[in-house]
């Protein structure tokens, strides 16, 4: 059970944050659940048609499309998590709905959803209430085969059906009550390279865990992440490798954290920032009580190193609360592997 709760979020402020994210070519998006995900990425060099309406926003490229719905009940939840890479962290923003509002009637077995655009839409039947993971096809042979297997959960489909889907290369269409991602590029082979642009993942081992998102993210109880976006990480590139620190990207994401993250998280980060700015060490004070607050403190320490350097007082805080990172920094400075 999570002790986190929402801060009051101004609808206009939240809408502006979503609009800015949609318009940023460097921000990636995902829709799905732990183990079944559609991702939408584009770069500044990718031609895109972006449209804003009263109901939401759409982005179309040759490789796929994304639709983000406005929803009165939606809230945004920016988060940061520790990385095993010294001095690094991961970050993202979950767009959430109360569980009843998030329920999209995701099918428990293969379901024919009827005509959609230029083909027939089938829910693959993963049994996730807030998700409709679909394929769209106009291939008569595949449509006939899928209709023969209606009601069968995707994970129980025969090898012949899965092979026929891959052979037909249908458009993947993942739908929630907050949006839709369409992927038009071919499905790669199991041992192939994941494309950099829009793509999908279905990972049975993770699906069986029945988690909506990483267990390291503590959403307020009763809420579901029905969409997510990922502004550029200031310390890591899109492949997760180290990059030259981007101070402007860092400031933009910290602004989202300060405006929308739970108060406990903001307080934990401010505690260490204010102490470091004043030159005050930890003085034997204990760690925060919750895992989420402890993570926030450690992330703030890693971020401080990038923005202000590794001072003696920073080393004291890091040794007290993020010792592994301190040891790796010492080894790197000493030239040790």
The predicted-structure confidence for 149-202, as pLDDT tens digits, reads as follows 999 999 999 999 999 999 999 999 999 999 999 999 988 776 656 667 899 988
Q: What is the pLDDT of residue 43?
A: 87
Cβ proximity of 2 and 171 under 8 Å: no
| Phi/psi of residue 42, nearest 5 degrees | -150, 155
On the question of pLDDT at 255 being above 60, the answer is yes
All structural domains of the chain, each given as residue ranges with its CATH number in brackets, are 11-102+211-258 (3.40.1570), 262-333 (no CATH)
Q: What is the pTM of this model?
A: 0.91
Least confident of 183-197, 255-269, 303-317: 183-197
DSSP state of 286: P
Q: What is the pLDDT of residue 82?
A: 92
Q: Using CA atoms, how far apart are residues 202 and 254, in angstroms rounded to an integer?
A: 32
Q: What is the pLDDT of residue 256?
A: 96
Contacts of 180 (CB under 8 A, 6+ apart): 31, 65, 66, 67, 173, 174
Residue whose token pair is 């976006």: 229
On the question of pLDDT at 140 being above 80, the answer is yes
**Confidence tier at 9 by pLDDT (50, 70, 90):** confident
> Other C-beta atoms within 10 Å of 112: how many?
13
């Amino acid at each position: 059970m999570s002790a986190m709760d929402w801060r009051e979020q101004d609808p206009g402020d939240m809408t502006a944050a979503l609009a800015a994210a949609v318009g940023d070519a460097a921000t990636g998006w995902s829709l799905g659940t732990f183990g079944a995900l559609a991702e939408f990425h584009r770069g500044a060099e990718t031609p895109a048609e972006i449209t804003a309406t009263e109901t939401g926003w759409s982005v179309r490229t040759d490789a796929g499309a994304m639709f983000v719905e406005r929803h009165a009940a939606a809230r945004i939840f920016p988060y940061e998590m520790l990385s095993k890479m010294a001095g690094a962290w991961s970050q993202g923003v979950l767009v959430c709905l109360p569980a009843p509002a998030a329920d999209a009637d995701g099918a428990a077995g293969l379901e024919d959803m009827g005509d959609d655009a230029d083909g027939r839409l089938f829910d693959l039947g993963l049994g996730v209430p807030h998700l409709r993971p679909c394929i769209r096809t106009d291939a008569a042979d595949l449509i006939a085969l899928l209709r023969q297997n209606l009601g069968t959960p995707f994970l129980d489909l025969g090898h012949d059906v899965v092979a026929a889907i891959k052979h037909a290369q249908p458009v993947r269409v993942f739908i929630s009550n907050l949006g839709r991602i369409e992927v038009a590029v071919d499905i790669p082979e199991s041992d192939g390279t994941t494309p950099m642009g829009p793509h999908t993942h279905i990972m049975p081992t993770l699906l069986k865990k029945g988690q909506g998102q990483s267990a390291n993210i503590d959403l307020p109880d009763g809420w579901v992440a029905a969409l997510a976006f990922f502004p550029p990480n200031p310390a890591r590139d899109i492949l997760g490798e180290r990059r030259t620190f981007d101070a402007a990207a860092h400031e933009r994401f910290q602004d989202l954290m300060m405006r929308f993250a739970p108060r406990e998280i903001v307080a934990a980060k401010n505690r260490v920032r204010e102490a470091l700015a004043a030159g005050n060490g930890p003085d034997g004070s204990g760690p925060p009580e919750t895992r989420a607050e402890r993570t926030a403190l450690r992330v703030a320490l890693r971020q401080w190193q990038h923005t202000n350097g590794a001072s003696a007082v920073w080393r004291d805080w890091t040794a007290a609360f993020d010792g592994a990172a301190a040891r790796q920094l010492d080894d790197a400075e000493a030239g040790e592997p």
